[in-house]
């Protein structure tokens, strides 16, 4: 912690809240991290951590859902492809049999 007074930092912080720029307010917390008391530093770490964890959890859910859905579609499509290939094989066999009968 440096010797910038906490009441000065508090005032700066609430002025940024009043200004309404969220990114700037977050940047202030990071820029002045070392000027803040240990217990406030801990709260900042925890708040950013929870924010990151929440994003990571949302991402995990979205990616999981997306992959499951698309992999299911792959499975369905593979079955369709297999049935088309079987159909072609059957047509070819029938044609072969007809040709042989003609001969």
Partner 1 sequence: MAIERIKKEWDKNKELEPSADPNLNLREILADKNNSELFGTLLDKKNENDLGQKLVKGELKPEDLKQLEGYRNEFVKILDDSKKVNEMLDSRVLNGVITRSPNLQTLNHLVGQDGIQRTVAKKLNFLAIEDKDHFDQIINSFERVQEQKSAEAEKDEEIKKICAQYSVSDRDLGDVLKIDDTNKRLIQIRGLIKKRMSFGGLFQNREISRRAEELDRRDDIVALLAEADKTMLSLGDSLSLSIGNNDEVRRELVSFLRGEDKSKREEGETEMSFKESKELYLSQSDLEAAWQRFVGDSNDKELVGRAQKNDLVAKGELQNLFVQNYLGDKNKKIKKKGFWYKLLEAFMAKLASGFDLIPAEPNGGQAKSQ
**What separation in angstroms does the CA of 7 have from each of 14, 35, 41?**
11, 12, 15
Rounded to an integer, what distance in angstroms lies between the CA atom of residue 89 and that of residue 92? 5
Which of 30, 96, 97, 98 touches partner 1 by CB under 8 A?
30
Q: Is 38 near partner 1 (CB under 8 A)?
A: yes
| Residue 62 engages partner 1 in binding (rule: CB under 8 A) | yes
Contacts 24+ apart (CB under 8 A), 84-91: none
| d(C-alpha 97, C-alpha 89), whole Å | 12
Q: How big is the site for partner 1, counted in residues (CB under 8 A)?
A: 64
Which residues here bind partner 1, judged by CB under 8 A?
A: 6-7, 10-11, 13-14, 17-18, 20, 22, 25-27, 29-30, 33-34, 37-64, 66-67, 69-71, 73-74, 76-78, 80-81, 83-85, 87-88, 91-92
């Amino acid at each position: 912690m440096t010797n910038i007074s906490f009441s000065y930092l508090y005032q700066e912080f609430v002025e940024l809240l009043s200004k309404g720029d969220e990114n700037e307010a977050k940047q202030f917390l990071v820029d002045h991290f070392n000027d803040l008391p240990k217990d406030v530093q801990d709260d900042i770490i925890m708040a950013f951590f929870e924010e990151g964890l929440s994003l990571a959890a949302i991402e995990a859910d979205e990616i999981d859902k997306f992959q499951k859905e698309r992999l299911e579609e792959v499975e369905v499509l593979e079955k369709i492809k297999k049935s088309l290939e079987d159909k072609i094989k059957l047509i070819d066999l029938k044609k072969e049999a007809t040709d042989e009968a003609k001969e």
